[in-house]
Structure 1
């Protein structure tokens, strides 16, 4: 089954799960993005448009791109219900075909890089559409703590929660991320942290900041990070 068809099948349920037409509410993402008023920003693998709506609400001119036709349909439906001037188009993150070279001040990719099969192709396409010195902000499941073999256990000596990590070097597609909620999400591509950093560098990016915010729930994510946020710029 293709990536496109997998997400088409779960688009409606995913939209309901994350809050329908609400904009993205992630303070770490917002801080890394910073002020975007007057900027042209592309949301790559935009899904139903949560981060696109946040960016537009902050004054950016936003273009959203996603491979899933059903996600784009939902994003356009939310735009019609509450117009923010966002343009959406169906497209592949590997090529970003139809988007001109050096046409954006910034790019975001929220919780999607780990879902894209060819990381190198996607990052090079993102670099292509950015203007010189342009910025790139992304968030992914933490590659060190969300691996193909993970689990939680309670230390019964003090009832503290621990995260067990295995198969860290086993890069490739796995179905594990979806086990906690039916088909959501629909699997991911595990890569080591060094693969992410080295591929960013090869595409011409310099990492400016990394963030590993603790989460309140479940308790284990207060001990180890579930997500990795990053802000980069073109060298």
Structure 2
């Protein structure tokens, strides 16, 4: 299967920062203490989150469908040897990874790019140990829908987010502004679809966070949604 990110891998790597460190306090808070733990990073891209977790003492395996992004991740590993294992693989199956082989599994800002949500979450649940933990993050499904925009209030001049087509699930074209560095489409699902899919996969939510970003629009409503939980035994 050809990955969409193969075509933009170099641009994406430059946009992310060519081996740069992760600067995401919400991700840091939810992943917590990982020293000595075995962690799988699903849809790891060029390895930014994998490098972060490895730097905090985790034994990390990164998996991504894009051969080009995995090549870039391995090149970063050569420059900064952290002991990370990178594998080319499909998040929807995680073939080649043994059942219950990780203490934790993360998927950072990628679930909305993957066609089969249920299969991906079942695969993540399969590879994590009973009562092991997971952290996932997505663009917020309530405020980044297939029909969104901004308007300026005529009185106080504040910027408001408009939302439409929330209940229209499926692939849509153009979720972000960085179209030179990202594929232009994603898969929209309702919040309840995500929550129910986690439950169906045996992944129980322990905590959800919606960070406020320091931009005129995203001070008013959340741009991102983060979830931490555990696999039921």
What's the TM-score bracket when you normalise by the shorter of the two chains? over 0.9
Corresponding residue of 2:133: 135
Q: Which is helix-richer, 1 or 2?
A: 1
Does 1:121 pair with 2:122?
no
Separation in structure 1 between the aligned mates of residue 164 and residue 182 of structure 2, nearest angstrom: 20
Equivalent in 66, 69, 72 of residue 70 of structure 2 = 72
Unmatched 5+ stretches in structure 2:
none
Corresponding residue of 2:160: 162
Separation in structure 2 between the aligned mates of residue 139 and residue 23 of structure 1, nearest angstrom: 18
Separation in structure 2 between the aligned mates of residue 16 and residue 184 of structure 1, nearest angstrom: 8
Q: CA RMSD in A?
A: 0.9
Corresponding residue of 1:232: 229
1:136-183 CA distance string (max 9 Å, x none): 0011000000000000110021101100000000000011214x2234
Separation in structure 2 between the aligned mates of residue 158 and residue 77 of structure 1, nearest angstrom: 50
Compute the TM-score of the two structures, normalised by the length of structure 1: 0.96
Corresponding residue of 2:51: 53
Separation in structure 1 between the aligned mates of residue 65 and residue 213 of structure 2, nearest angstrom: 29
Compute the TM-score of the two structures, normalised by the length of structure 2: 0.97
- The ranges of structure 1 where at least 4 consecutive aligned residues each deviate by more than 3 angstroms after the TM superposition are none
Aligned length: 231
Equivalent in 4, 13, 16 of residue 14 of structure 2 = 16
Trace 1:1-235 onto structure 2 (pairs within 5 A): 4-178=2-176, 180-186=177-183, 187-217=185-215, 219-235=216-232
Return the offset for 1:233. 0.4
Contact between 1:177 and 1:185, CA under 8 Å: does it hold in 2?
A: no
Return the offset for 1:204. 0.2
Return the offset for 1:97. 0.3
